[in-house]
Amino acid sequence: MKITVDAQPITLAEWRAIWQGPVELTLGQTALQRIGESQAQIDKVIAGGKQVYGVNTGFGQLAQVRIGAEKLAALQQNLVLSHSVGVGPPLTNECVRLAMVMKVVALAQGFSGVRAELVDALCKLINGGVYPCIPAKGSVGASGDLAPLAHMAGLLLGHGTASVGGKNIPAEKALAKVGLAPMQLAPKEGLALLNGTQISTSLALAAVFRAENILAASLAAGALAADAIKGSDTPFDERIQQVRGHRGQIDVAAALRKLMEGSDIRASHFDCTRVQDPYSIRCQPQVIGACLDVMRHVGVVLAKEANAVTDNPLVFAATDAVLSGGNFHAEPVALAADYLALSIAEVGALSERRIALLIDSHLSGLPAFLVREGGLNSGFMMAQVTAAALASENKSLAHPASVDSIPTSANQEDHVSMATFAANRLHTMLDNTAYIVAIEMLAAAQGIEFHHPQKSSKPLEKVIDELRQVSASYTADRSLSEDFEKVAKLIHDGRFLSCADSILPSLAG
């Protein structure tokens, strides 16, 4: 994918493509002009002897310390090295690529006072598939994602390691692969690289894209479950959704109707005596629709943040001003991530309830635990226990991170967002929910097959065919652990996106 970074923001669909695979960036002429004007303003400030935070002063609590002109380059290098204190496992290359592109987009808008040479170097790393190894932990989400972004900046200085072609190599060798040597940073450049919300935003945005994959699979699973228990599609009638009016509910109901249309199983019980199905079947439009609306809202917030300028201070060359503010505070990202966490937890919670329904012969009308010769075979009994454990873990992880704050930098930074943890924990929740939905998909497919020779709808039979490529029908007790892993991978790979691609925020167009 090729993108020219210039005057136009990058769309949510383009961010998804950047997350999914390599990208080639080019700086447009407008961007280059703005960068040059901004950097000239910093030169003017230094020449005039004016004291400006981060340009010729210390940082945080040390902001009142004036730094001499002969030490300004060392100031920026020391900032990067002293802030490279992250710990824990490295971020994925996908999230690092997102963050690097976001940093280029921010710097290219001409409010950061950096040289075009610096932004071009970042572009070369991105274009060459050279991704700094960034520890996942160590940021409180203000003043920006300082520690992780310092590790990103460190690569430009020749420090740390980088992932290239699936291998981690020393920074200097990684730079050489794209024709770069270790850089000496100019005034303000270290601060411009470290200040910003790009890490927390990339983690949260990646979580949106992963959540879309899971939500689509959950619709397939929910439709399969409804058909397997001989449930009614009447609750998905458009008229019911329209009188409430929520867009997500309307769209999810339409997707469920489309998935179930033409099912022989459904046609076989139009005149049955059952009055209403359990909520986990009947209220899918209301619950998953609300989750979809959350994803849409979060997608809008994060797309705006991904295109934003979030370092400090900011350079306004047109008005000859350098202003200190707080755009680095990641509260919008933290709140959005917490909101998304609720949605992810609910998708999993509803799926787990349908698994419990499917294995209960008194409610589902299917063989107990979805297996013949119950007693000799335990079937999906323990699979539901696994789903319950995962759903319960998600409930704890859904507790809002943004309500916490620990002051840092000797109380100079006295309120922080915790956005990085808020976003990072989403990926554990997504893993859990994908497993739950994978379990439900196999359980529901098993339920459908008990109705043979009657068939489900063409879309749902296609889903079952996909599942059977990696997991055979359950005829006698066996370990299902590997099967769940394989189906979860199908979900993460987006193999069921066609069940909902027209309503997902980054795919709907």
Q: Residues with catalytic annotation?
A: 53
In the chain, what is the straight-line distance between the N-terminal and C-terminal CA atoms, in Å? 17
Quote the CA–CA distance of 80 and 77 in Å, as a whole number: 5
75-78 long-range contacts (CB < 8 A, ≥24 apart) are 75/187, 75/190, 76/185, 76/186, 76/187, 76/188, 76/189, 76/190, 76/191, 77/157, 77/184, 77/185, 77/190
Question: Dihedrals φ, ψ of 378, to 5°?
Answer: -95, -15
Adjacent-strand bridge partners of 90: 135
Question: Which residues lie below 8 Å from residue 21, measured CB to CB, with a gap of 6+?
Answer: 1
Quote the CA–CA distance of 415 and 197 in Å, as a whole number: 15
Task: Give the Cβ contact number of residue 46 at 10 Å.
Answer: 17
Chain centroid, CA 128 distance in Å: 23
DSSP string of 442-479, one letter each residue:
HHHHHHHHTTTTS---HHHHHHHHHHHTTS----S---
Instruction: For residue 496, give the amino acid letter.
Output: F
